[in-house]
Amino acid sequence: MKYYQEITILPCMEVPAYFLWSKVYQQLHLGFASQQDAQGNVPVGVSFPCYRENEDGSSEGEEACALGYKLRLFAEDETVLERFALSKLLHRLEDYVHITRVRPVPKNLKGYATYSRFHQRNSVEQKARRYAKRHDVSYEDAEQLFPGQKFAEGLPYIQMKSSTNQNPFRLFIKKEGKDCAVNGGFSSYGLSNQSTVPEF
């Protein structure tokens, strides 16, 4: 990955960070989906430079802040990021985000990492969604019925809505450091468990 563009979520007293992450990432997901090739690969990947895992159970706001307030988009070619048209994609959120111009990746790197989607089998989210559907209650009410079961341990997430059925879900994001660069495509969330992005 030779070029990047950075988004900073601007702190705002009236609008919580987790809400802004949700809105920003929903738009990014639409942008990534529009870039998919025939195999479903996207040429743009993401990183969260301030990513950290939580050691204790946290609220939704704290989980989102574990991602920090920055996101970087990477591509091999400068024109790929220019065509992605990030400013246009996020124009409705321009008061809440700062977007840099496309820049070359610095030569001095800390290393490489993968940022991937973590799927938790039989997660609280799935159980709550099924319960809500069967018993005609809201998802939020159903979620409260499973207090003893934690979500993916310590992993930060972004609250999302399915574009097909509008169901809410948590996009858990897992980071793994890597020794060398691995080039390849990314998912419609800009994530991959194999393709790396540079860390700096």
Asked whether residue 46 is assigned to any structural domain, the reply reads yes
Q: What is the pLDDT of residue 147?
A: 62
Q: What is the pLDDT of residue 139?
A: 79
Asked whether residue 132 is assigned to any structural domain, the reply reads no
Q: What is the pLDDT of residue 57?
A: 45
Q: What is the pLDDT of residue 89?
A: 96
Contacts of 135 (CB under 8 A, 6+ apart): 142
Which ranges of the chain have pLDDT less than 70? Answer: 54-65, 120-124, 146-153
Which pTM value belongs to this model? 0.80
For residue 188, what are the domain limits? 3-118+173-199
Q: What is the pLDDT of residue 114?
A: 98
Asked whether residue 82 is assigned to any structural domain, the reply reads yes
Number of Cβ within a 10 Å radius of residue 165? 6
Q: What is the pLDDT of residue 182?
A: 95
Asked whether residue 152 is assigned to any structural domain, the reply reads no
Q: What is the pLDDT of residue 195?
A: 97
- What is the distance between the alpha carbons of residues 152 and 124, in angstroms, rounded to a whole number? 9
State pLDDT tens for residues 70-92.
Answer: 999 999 999 999 999 999 999 99
Q: What is the pLDDT of residue 155?
A: 87
Asked whether residue 139 is assigned to any structural domain, the reply reads no
Q: What is the pLDDT of residue 166?
A: 81
- What is the distance between the alpha carbons of residues 51 and 21, in angstroms, rounded to a whole number? 13
Contact 139, 129 (CB under 8 A): yes
CATH of the domain at 179: 3.30.70.2540
Asked whether residue 163 is assigned to any structural domain, the reply reads no
How many domains, the chain? 1
Whole-Å CA distances, 1 to 47, 114, 133, 136:
12, 12, 43, 47
Q: What torsion, rounded to 10 degrees, do the Cα atoms 180, 194, 36, 85 define?
A: -40
Q: What is the pLDDT of residue 120?
A: 66
